[in-house]
Amino acid sequence: MPLTGEKYTQLTQQQPSADDESHGRWVACDESGWDGEQLVGRQRRFLVFASVAVDDVEAAVLVQALRERGGIRQAGELKFRLFKDHAQRLSLLQELWGPGGALHDRCSVYVVEKEYAASAKVIDLLLEEKEYAEGGNLYADDQARALARTLALEGPRALRGPLFGDLMSAFVALASQRGAARHEEASEAFFTVIERAWAASTRKQVTELLARLRSTRAYAAALHDESADFPLLEMLIPAAAQTARRWGHRLGRVSLLTDEQRMLTDNALSTVKLYARSPVGMTLFTRERGADVAGVVRGSSSDHPSVQLADLLAGAAAAVTERHAGNDSPAASALWPAVVSFVDTSSLLPYDDPAAQLRTVDERLPRR
């Protein structure tokens, strides 16, 4: 059912998408694993934003072929759940995405490790603000990225027991929109945990980072003073903007068609377009030229077969990230070789080569 309300009146695409001079190449998108600003303490550690460079005209043919060859008779749109437990249907996806397949080299997956995103935001919103006010620039020479990795990778080792989790949870409570209503209480709770963590840290780099964070109270107090284009810890909008930018760099003029999602209001989609066209990057790690993005709109997967193809990729990518976290499945085992080849190199993960790491099982991550 289409989204309704005043926030969703302008940028809904009802007609089938078709590549042309005005729109450029259409790119269909869908997400999996989104939890809003709640970046820690959730069942799914990863957000994936999957995209496929295909319009509805071509996608309709591909979707029909998948239905016929996979013996899928259920009414409604094509979903990954119809494939994940069927070896023969999974082989159809392998064929579709593999070398020589119709969508080979036309897929991309932007992956966010949510806890790492929270660590990056600690640096971005607190330490970098302090550094900038004092005339410095943590973005120079990748200092901010190095600090975020130190916190994310070394923090759990330096802070035994639940302390690292307490630290990240306190930061999310402070920086999220929920924290704005009880800002003084959330700030006090965060810096109480900072003091505990600083005193308990067993690794020099983490201890030094925490010592620097102890002096950021003024910047924490100002987190919600100014209105922002979107919530401070929201990862979906930057993921969509980076996706649009990267496709624009590859293909020239593009238009993005995203699956309907309540976070993606008219204002949010306009922000995605603005940032994708901007030469200034959206994330801690992205400093790239803007792209020729003609439009960013939403649409229902029931109306757009291209979005159904994006859903298949999002579901597969989610399974592959679960495999990385130690929770393997038949779908992940079958599809990871194809999916990891689509992973965007600028994904928000604490590695230089995200795709290479996603081929493996991360021993840091707890299994379920």
pLDDT digits (tens, 9 = 90+) for 324-346: 999 999 999 999 999 999 999 99
SS (H, E, C) 177-235: HHHHHCHHHHHHHHHHHHHHHHHHCCCHHHHHHHHHHCCCHHHHHCCCCCCCCCCCCCC
What is the reported pLDDT for 225? 85
Do 355 and 340 form a contact (C-beta atoms < 8 A)?
yes
What is the reported pLDDT for 355? 92
From the centroid of its chain, how far is CA 109?
9
Six-digit token pair at 192? 């109480």
For the chain, which domains are there? 6-114+231-358 (3.30.420), 115-221 (no CATH)
Per-residue pLDDT band at 281 (split at 50, 70, 90): very low
What one-letter code names the amino acid at 131?
A: E
Residue with tokens 């709640």: 38
Beta bridge partners of 257: 28, 297
Q: Backbone phi, then psi, for 50, in 5-degree steps?
A: -100, 145
- Sequence-distant (≥ 6) Cβ neighbours of residue 294 within 8 angstroms: 22, 23, 24, 253, 254, 255
What is the reported pLDDT for 364? 61
pLDDT digits (tens, 9 = 90+) for 217-231: 999 999 988 888 889
Q: How many helices (H) and strands (E) does the chain have?
A: 16, 5
- Contacts made by residues 186-189, CB under 8 angstroms, sequence distance 24+: 187/217, 187/220, 187/221
d(CA 32, CA 360): 20
DSSP annotation of 367? P
pLDDT digits (tens, 9 = 90+) for 9-40: 999 999 999 999 999 999 999 999 999 999 99
Beta strand extents in the chain (DSSP E only): 25-32, 46-52, 107-113, 254-259, 293-299
- Sequence-distant (≥ 6) Cβ neighbours of residue 97 within 8 angstroms: 103, 104, 107, 313, 335, 338, 339, 342
